């Protein structure tokens, strides 16, 4: 079936007030009943031997155990009822078919089209464009370019092949690629990548440390090609390259030499190809994407070019296949079997009914150390909103606060609070059966020891340790209270055979769709990000005040005092 979404500015449909829906009231009453009953996770496990089975779902490579969440089957039924009352399925289908659900920017939201197979060309026409054909045209160009770099056919200006890719971007143009690069490092078969994002010059300096200008390729990634940090870093990188090549006597200062050096060492990823040319990058070496790809949903578009160069087209294709597998599950699985829908709804339950404001994501795999940072942009830039998609104010909390660190490092840092603190922090644990580096410590398989920690943590959080159990260990009575674990702390366990490209694609798409579900329930536009604009504008206004007294006088007293401090201490 061909979906042919209209390009006209659609009238904004009124958003629902979720807190006025019947299921919301029922969920509040249900929560009160559960709380008053004093029932705990351990009681539910004791009374229902089938609980694990009943609350476990599988999709693609992911085994997802929801049983240690503070939910009963009635909770899930009510949450699903709420989803239906919110029109969740209709909104999902509207997104997937290219309707302009990003109302404040009047845009389609079609990151799922980035991973549709080429065989589906013609099946999704949005704003008059065959988006699948467009996606695969760019993908083919990227694969061909990456192969040239990887094979050494593409060389720097002195004829040497590329050994280091320095990708310059920020936010969605950085966090996804760097997270995936780190996660899939064992699969790297091409040049190493370094990622520069911060406007702090220390970032670029560190990423260029030891770089040979003759063998370095810069990929400037910016959807708009106007982002301050990225453009400043790109200009600094260009100046570094030209200086270094001139110092080495490889180019002289002639315009032709400079243009050739930029052509051989700079490529771009952007939706703004005019500004790419203005920068001096040959449009032939620019890879586009589309306004219907949000920055934080763009890692599987041309934004992933550095990954294709470093990991190779095959690995990138497996990543896309993984995304697509989760998309299909999200689009078609019944609500009570649909993992992103259930996880999103459980998050709503914690956020809005249980009062748990934050959510930890704890990957038990060192290669996933940037996953929590990536998720922070995905979830918090998407759902940190105070008005609904029609501009009316929300009447409940939105936007969970996501955070985390890889296990077991977190265990020796903040898990104390998760186990015994006064705030409850729902956690997602993510672990893998196989490791890239199987290792023994004598008779002990170290990965099994690592996985024991993953299992032990979720067990301790769910079931705790009673005062009697503590006493039975011979603990002095005065210390017993400090050693009691209440338990009843909710976790989801996500287990997969291994961290490979396909599984990572599934995981990323899972969290993209969880984010969608939460936003759809709250009635917000999860695809704009106006909240980052004011700070950007003010930074431009404040910059002159460091040296200009008239500009300084226009600032508030606190800013004036901080700049006075700067002026006093600047060396
Ligand atoms: O921080 C706001 C933001 O617009 C993000 O949404 C985006 O990912 C990032 O800036 C980078 O934008 P661009 O890709 O246009 O440089």
Tokens of 330: 């999200």
- The residues, ordered by sequence, that sit 6+ positions from 216 with a Cβ below 8 Å of its Cβ are 156, 162, 163, 164, 165, 166, 208, 241, 265
Q: How confident is the model at residue 6, as a pLDDT?
A: 45
Per-residue pLDDT tens for 55-97? Answer: 999 999 999 999 999 999 999 999 999 999 999 999 999 999 9
Atom 5 of ligand 1: nearest residue by CA position: 171
- The residue ranges of DSSP E strands in 99-147, in sequence order, are 124-126, 129-130
Q: Return the biggest CA–CA distance within the chain.
A: 83
- The residues, ordered by sequence, that sit 6+ positions from 245 with a Cβ below 8 Å of its Cβ are 157, 158, 213, 214, 251, 261
Atom 10 of ligand 1: nearest residue by CA position: 171
Can you tell me which atom of ligand 1 is nearest the CA of 227? 16
Residue 418 has pLDDT above 80, yes or no: yes
Residue 309 has pLDDT above 50, yes or no: yes
Classify the C-alpha dihedral 69-74-77-82 as positive or negative: negative
Q: Quick count: other Cβ atoms within 10 Å of Cβ 117? A: 14
Instruction: Give the whole-angstrom CA distance, residue 503 versus residue 92.
Output: 23
Q: Quick count: other Cβ atoms within 10 Å of Cβ 40? A: 17
Per-residue pLDDT tens for 213-263? Answer: 999 999 999 999 999 999 999 999 999 999 999 999 999 989 999 999 999
Distance 170 CA to ligand 1 centre (A): 6
Pocket test for ligand 1, best of 111, 170, 279 (most atoms within 8 A of CB): 170
Q: How confident is the model at residue 43, as a pLDDT?
A: 97
Find residue 57's DSSP bridge partners. 64
Distances (CA, A) of 77 to 84, 363, 392: 11, 29, 28
Mean pLDDT calculated for residue range 460-488: 98
Mean pLDDT calculated for residue range 38-44: 97
- Is the distance from CB of 49 to CB of 478 less than 8 angstroms? no
Residue 3 has pLDDT above 60, yes or no: no
Q: How confident is the model at residue 10, as a pLDDT?
A: 55
Question: What's the mean per-residue pLDDT of the chain?
Answer: 96
Q: Is 136 a catalytic residue?
A: no
What angle, 0 to 180 degrees and rounded to 10, lies between the N-to-C axes of helices 73-85 and 501-522? 70
Query: Which of 50, 77, 22 has its CA nearest to residue 334?
Result: 77
Instruction: Give the whole-angstrom CA distance, residue 200 versus residue 210.
Output: 19
Collapse the DSSP code of 100 into the 3-class scheme (helix H, G, I; strand E, B; otherwise coil) and give the result.
Answer: coil
Find residue 58's DSSP bridge partners. 63
Pocket test for ligand 1, best of 169, 179, 222, 223 (most atoms within 8 A of CB): 223
Atom 3 of ligand 1: nearest residue by CA position: 171
**Same CATH fold assignment for domains 22-85+333-522 and 111-313:** yes
Q: Is 20 a catalytic residue?
A: no
Nearest 5°: the CA angle 327, 329, 334 is: 135
Per-residue pLDDT tens for 165-203? Answer: 999 999 999 999 999 999 999 999 999 999 999 999 999
Per-residue pLDDT tens for 495-518? Answer: 999 999 999 999 999 999 999 999
Atom 9 of ligand 1: nearest residue by CA position: 171
Distances (CA, A) of 72 to 463, 489, 496: 16, 14, 25
- Is the distance from CB of 79 to CB of 348 less than 8 angstroms? yes
The topology under which CATH files domain 111-313 is: Rossmann fold (3.40.50)
Class of domain 22-85+333-522: alpha beta
Residue 205 has pLDDT above 60, yes or no: yes
Q: Is 465 a catalytic residue?
A: no
Atom 6 of ligand 1: nearest residue by CA position: 295
Q: How confident is the model at residue 200, as a pLDDT?
A: 97
- Is the distance from CB of 265 to CB of 141 less than 8 angstroms? no
Residue 494 has pLDDT above 90, yes or no: yes
Instruction: Give the whole-angstrom CA distance, residue 130 versus residue 209.
Output: 43
Pocket test for ligand 1, best of 111, 168, 171, 275 (most atoms within 8 A of CB): 171
Distance 226 CA to ligand 1 centre (A): 9
Which DSSP string do the residues of 268-282 spell out, in sequence order?
A: EEES-HHHHHHHT--
Q: How confident is the model at residue 12, as a pLDDT?
A: 83
Catalytic-labelled residue, pool 412, 448, 486, 547: 412
Distance 16 CA to ligand 1 centre (A): 29
Per-residue pLDDT tens for 358-397? Answer: 999 999 999 999 999 999 999 999 999 999 999 999 999 9
- Is the distance from CB of 303 to CB of 177 less than 8 angstroms? yes
Which DSSP string do the residues of 170-223 spell out, in sequence order?
A: -GGGTHHHHHHHHHTGGG--S-EEEEE--SSHHHHHHHHTT--GGGEEEEEE-S
Pairing of strands 56-59, 440-441: unpaired
Instruction: Give the whole-angstrom CA distance, residue 298 versus residue 393.
Output: 29
Residue 429 has pLDDT above 90, yes or no: yes
Instruction: Give the whole-angstrom CA distance, residue 206 versus residue 238.
Output: 16
Which DSSP string do the residues of 14-71 spell out, in sequence order?
A: PPP-GGGSHHHHHHHHHHHHHHHHT--HHHHHHH-TTHHHHTEEEETTEEEE-TTSS-
Instruction: Give the whole-angstrom CA distance, residue 480 versus residue 404.
Output: 30
Distance 523 CA to ligand 1 centre (A): 23
Q: Is the pTM of this model over 0.85?
A: yes
Distance 5 CA to ligand 1 centre (A): 26
Mean pLDDT calculated for residue range 89-106: 96
Task: Say which residue, 135 or 6, is predicted with more confidence.
Answer: 135
Which residues contact ligand 1 via a Cβ below 6 A? 170-173, 222-224, 227, 230, 295-296, 381, 529, 532
Residue 5 has pLDDT above 80, yes or no: no
* Residue 358, burial from CB neighbour count under 10 angstroms (0-12, 13-18, 19+): middle
Residue 526 has pLDDT above 80, yes or no: yes
Backbone angles phi, psi at 440, to 5 degrees: -105, 145
Distances (CA, A) of 45 to 49, 350, 488, 489: 6, 20, 11, 14
Return the domain boundaries, the chain. 22-85+333-522, 111-313, 530-569
155: which DSSP letter?
B
pLDDT level of residue 2 (50, 70, 90 thresholds): very low
Catalytic-labelled residue, pool 486, 536, 547, 554: 536
Residue 1 has pLDDT above 80, yes or no: no
């Amino acid at each position: 079936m061909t979906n042919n979404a209209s390009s006209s500015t659609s009238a904004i449909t009124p958003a629902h007030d979720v807190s006025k829906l019947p299921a919301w009231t029922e969920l509040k009453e249900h929560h009160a009943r559960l709380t008053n009953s004093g029932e705990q996770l351990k009681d539910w496990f004791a009374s229902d031997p089938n609980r694990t089975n009943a609350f476990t779902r599988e999709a693609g490579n992911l085994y997802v155990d929801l049983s240690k969440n503070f939910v009963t089957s009635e909770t899930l039924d009510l949450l699903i009822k709420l989803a239906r009352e919110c029109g969740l399925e209709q909104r999902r289908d509207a997104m997937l078919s290219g309707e302009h659900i990003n109302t404040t920017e009047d845009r389609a939201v079609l990151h799922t089209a980035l991973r549709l197979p080429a065989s589906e060309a013609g099946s999704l026409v949005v704003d008059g464009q065959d988006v699948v054909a467009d996606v695969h045209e760019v993908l083919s160009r990227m694969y061909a370019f990456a192969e040239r770099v990887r094979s050494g056919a593409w060389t720097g200006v002195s004829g040497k092949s590329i050994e280091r890719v320095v990708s310059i971007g920020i936010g969605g143009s950085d966090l996804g690629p760097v997270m995936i690069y780190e996660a899939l490092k064992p699969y790297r078969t091409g040049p190493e990548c370094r990622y520069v994002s911060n406007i702090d010059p220390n970032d670029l300096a560190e990423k260029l440390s030891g770089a040979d200008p003759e063998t370095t390729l810069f990929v400037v990634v910016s959807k708009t090609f106007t982002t301050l940090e990225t453009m400043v870093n790109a200009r600094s990188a260009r100046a570094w390259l030209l200086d270094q090549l001139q110092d080495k006597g490889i180019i002289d200062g002639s315009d032709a030499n400079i243009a050739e050096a930029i052509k051989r060492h700079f490529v771009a990823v952007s939706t703004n190809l005019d500004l790419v040319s203005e920068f001096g990058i040959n449009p032939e070496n620019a890879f586009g994407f589309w306004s219907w790809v949000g920055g934080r949903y763009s890692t599987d578009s041309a934004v992933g070019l550095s990954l294709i160069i470093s990991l190779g087209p095959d690995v990138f294709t497996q990543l896309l296949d993984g995304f697509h597998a989760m998309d299909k599950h999200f689009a078609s699985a019944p609500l009570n079997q649909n993992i992103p829908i259930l996880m999103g709804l459980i998050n709503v339950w914690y956020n809005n009914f249980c009062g748990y404001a934050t959510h930890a994501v704890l990957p038990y795999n060192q290669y996933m150390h940037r996953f929590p940072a990536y998720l922070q942009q995905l979830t918090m830039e998407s759902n940190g909103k105070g008005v609904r998609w029609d501009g009316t104010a929300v009447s409940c909390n939105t936007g969970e606060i996501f955070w985390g660190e890889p296990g077991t490092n977190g265990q020796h840092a903040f898990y104390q609070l998760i186990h015994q603190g006064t705030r409850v922090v729902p956690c997602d644990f993510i672990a893998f059966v196989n490791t890239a580096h199987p290792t023994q410590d004598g008779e002990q398989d170290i990965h099994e020891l690592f996985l024991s920690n993953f299992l032990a943590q979720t067990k301790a959080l769910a079931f705790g340790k009673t005062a009697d159990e503590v006493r039975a260990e011979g603990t002095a009575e005065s210390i017993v209270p400090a050693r009691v674990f209440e338990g009843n702390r909710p976790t989801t366990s996500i287990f997969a055979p291994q961290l490979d490209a396909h599984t990572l694609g599934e995981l990323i798409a899972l969290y993209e769709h969880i984010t969608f579900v939460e936003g759809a329930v709250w009635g917000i536009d999860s695809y704009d990000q106006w909240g980052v604009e004011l700070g950007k504008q003010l930074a431009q206004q404040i910059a002159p005040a460091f040296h200009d007294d008239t500009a300084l006088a226009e600032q508030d007293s606190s800013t004036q005092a901080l700049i006075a401090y700067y002026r006093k201490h600047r060396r």
